[in-house]
Structures are given as structure tokens and as C-alpha cells.
Amino acid sequence: MQRLSPEEARLAEAMDQPAMLARTERWSAINSGTRNLAGLAVQAGELADAFATLPGEVVLHDPAPVTAVDGEGREVELEHGRHLTLSVRPEAERRLLLTGHMDTVYPPDHPFQQGRWLDADTLNAPGAADMKGGIAVILAALQAVEASGAAQAIGYDVMINSDEETGSLSSAPLIDRLAQGKYAALTYEPSTLPDGTLAHARGGSGNYSVVVTGRSAHAGRNPQDGRNALVAAADLALRVKRLEHGAISVNPARIDGGSANNVVPDLAILRFNIRPQSTDAAGQFQAALQDVLAAVEREHEVSLALHGGISRPPKPVDGRAQKLFDLVCGISAALSRPIGWKPTGGVCDGNNIAARGVPVVDTMGVRGGSIHSPEEYLIASSLSERAALSAVVLHRLATGETL
């Protein structure tokens, strides 16, 4: 079992629980749904002020362009909020990356806007667990490390994006750039289970839209002259589903389009998600999908336009990443809270970071549960608990721990 040094024990005891909780409650009261640009701007301003207490430069980055297919089959641009970064000691030989997200799944018109206490240690509030509490953990851990003698041995970047809940499409280039050359990374999604269990290996995720263009005709007078886009989209959904096997799941999720009952529809849009467990499975699906698209075009005499792709690569756990997991779990045990890990089908920015070959533990955030629902809750005492864990992990990496 790992033991804490006197310096690490002091770090663990230095957490200001009331300040962390106050920040989390204040930030949770700001609606920062991914599409609420005004709310995201307010949240970004609050975070910029908070992280300005650390050395280094806080920057708000414009989002990268992102497009999607609308209900009419048109490719339209999606607006996103700005992403925050803090860079500290970029010249350091050993550099780390810490990431979080400021957006939530609750739009301004969602009924879940206010927090309430369920008991003395359980806060039910929008984004409290996922992941405004996690952002408070990042800040407190870094403040403690900066006050220690080990801080000068490491540099780090912090990134808080505004679009994680919709796939980090407008922040993906920023994540990719920041991950390059990093020794290790920590991401502050809430723990997989309320007991603090960490997410281990993750599958990947890809979202696709296929615009099917047929030919309209009268359903009674001359249906033979039409080419039914809706039927072609339904056939495509079935064929895509048949590409599923043990290493990949496929979920046809929605078909938009159609027309009046007496019209052969000339437009439909099929939307589907895939969850590959490996890079090979993702590549095999891509190749098979092209064959399926060609067959549907040929047999239904329609044209197909594919949009989207893999946005979260699969995240296996290699030897260096496993050492980071062992370090985190060993330190947590030394702090009197043993934790473990389990694989998950969920995805997050940890997938993108791992794709750069960087060891990452991506559930360093608070304990809680029922995320993405009005029952979302934070176990308040886990704020100082997980900040202490992060501070000691960072201290250990700063003082020469090898992965």
C-alpha cells in the first residue's frame, strides 16, 4: 500500500471545502446548456476570474466551425461557446493536461434550474456533479500544489470546453493540440459510481446522418415514377443495424422526412450512432458502410450523402495508462478511500486525449449520480476528498513518479 509523505499529507489537509462548495453552488445556478451561448459566456467569465488566481495566462478560444444536417437535409453551421485554457510553465520538461467542461445538458427552458439539499451531504443541482463540482476540484487541487515546493517541477495546461455534452466537436482541435507531448492527463468527469469507481477502458463513438434524395410522384396516379426516399432510408437503417457485431454496436436513432400521404417522398434523413470497442472495429465499419450505401443507392435508385463520423476514438488502457490508474487508486487508498475501476461504454474527452498516446484517468471528478436528469446529485464531501486525491497525484508526478 502506498503511503503519503508529510508534504502530501499537508496537501491533502489543505482543501477549503466551504469555498469549493460555494463555487459549485454558484456555478450550478448559471444555466450553461451547450446551446445557451449567453449562459456559457457568463460561466466562462466566472471561470476566467477563478482560474486567474493561478499563475499563467487564461485565454478564451473561439470554437472551431461545426456543421450538422438539419431536418430539410441542409448542412448548417452550429454555434458554440468559447473554450477556456490556462497555461502554466509551458517551458517545463514534464507537462500535464487537466480538462473539464462548463456545458450541461439542461437548456434554459428545462424545468431543472435550481439546486436543493436532499440531506446534509447531498446537493441536487444542475451540473453539480457533471461537472461544475469537477471544475472546483481542478482549481482547488492546483491552488494547493502551487503553494507546495513541488510546483516548479511541472508545467500544465487546463482546458474547460463548452461543448463536451454534444461531442466536443468545436473543441476537438484544441484538445488535440493541448494533448500533444503531455506526460499524463487528468479529466474531471464524475466517478462512474457513487463510491468513486473510475472509468477504465472506453469504447468509441461516432454519429452519422445520411441524406437520402429520391424522386417525388403522385402516390395514386404514377407511383412507379417516384423513388421513395423514406423506404430507402428504412432499408438503410436495417442494413446498417446488421453491421453490428461483438466489437461494435449500431443504433439507428431517427428518420426525418417524408411527405403527404398521397406523395411519394423525395427526401429522408437517417441518423445513427455507432459504438466501436476498437480502432480496427471502427475501420471495418467504415469500409462496410460504404458498400451498404452503394447497394442502397443502386437498388432504390436514390442518391445518398453521408455526414459525420467517429468523434470519440476508442480508449484502450495501455501499460503507461495502467500505471496512472494504479497511482491514482493507490493514493486514494492511502487517503482512506479505496477505489477501483471498471470499463464503460460511455465516452468523454478522455477518448480524444488517449488517441494522442497520453495516459489519462478521466473520472477524477466528484462522487454523485443520476447525471443528465433532474435527479442529478453531488455528494458534497467528495469535493475536498477528490481535490485532495488530485493534489497528491499531481505532487507525486511533479516529484518524479514515472509512468
What does the DSSP assignment read for 282-309? Answer: HHHHHHHHHHHHHHHHHHHT-EEEEEEE
Q: pTM (2 decimals)?
A: 0.96
Provide the 10 A C-beta neighbour count for residue 254.
12
Look at residue 33 in the predicted model and tell me its pLDDT. Answer: 98
Task: At 59, list the grid cell.
Answer: 485565454
Whether the predicted pLDDT of 346 surpasses 90: yes
Look at residue 150 in the predicted model and tell me its pLDDT. Answer: 94
Q: Which CATH code for domain 6-69+78-202+315-398?
A: 3.40.630.10
Look at residue 2 in the predicted model and tell me its pLDDT. Answer: 81
Residues 6+ apart with CB under 8 A from 299: 235
Do the beta carbons of residue 48 and residue 84 sit within 8 Å?
yes
Task: At 358, list the grid cell.
Answer: 497520453
Looking at the chain, the domain(s) classified CATH 3.30.70.360 span 205-312
Looking at the chain, the domain(s) classified CATH 3.40.630.10 span 6-69+78-202+315-398
Whether the predicted pLDDT of 287 surpasses 90: yes
Whether the predicted pLDDT of 272 surpasses 80: yes
Do the beta carbons of residue 69 and residue 307 sit within 8 Å?
yes
* Structure confidence at residue 83 as a pLDDT band (50, 70, 90): very high
Q: Please determine, looking at this structure, whether the domain spanning 205-312 carries the CATH number 3.30.70.360.
A: yes
Cα separation, 209 vs 68, in Å, equals 8
Look at residue 1 in the predicted model and tell me its pLDDT. Answer: 64
Q: Considering only CA atoms, which of 346, 34, 36 is closest in space to residue 170? A: 34
Helix (H) or strand (E) holding 97: strand 94-101
Burial string for 128-164 (b: 16+ CB within 10 Å, else e) reads bbbbbbbbbbbbbbbbbbbebebbeebbbbbbbbbbb
Task: At 121, list the grid cell.
Answer: 451531504
Whether the predicted pLDDT of 365 surpasses 80: yes
Whether the predicted pLDDT of 226 surpasses 90: yes
Look at residue 352 in the predicted model and tell me its pLDDT. Answer: 98
Burial string for 276-285 (b: 16+ CB within 10 Å, else e) reads bbbeebbebb
Cα separation, 253 vs 270, in Å, equals 8
Cα separation, 302 vs 213, in Å, equals 6
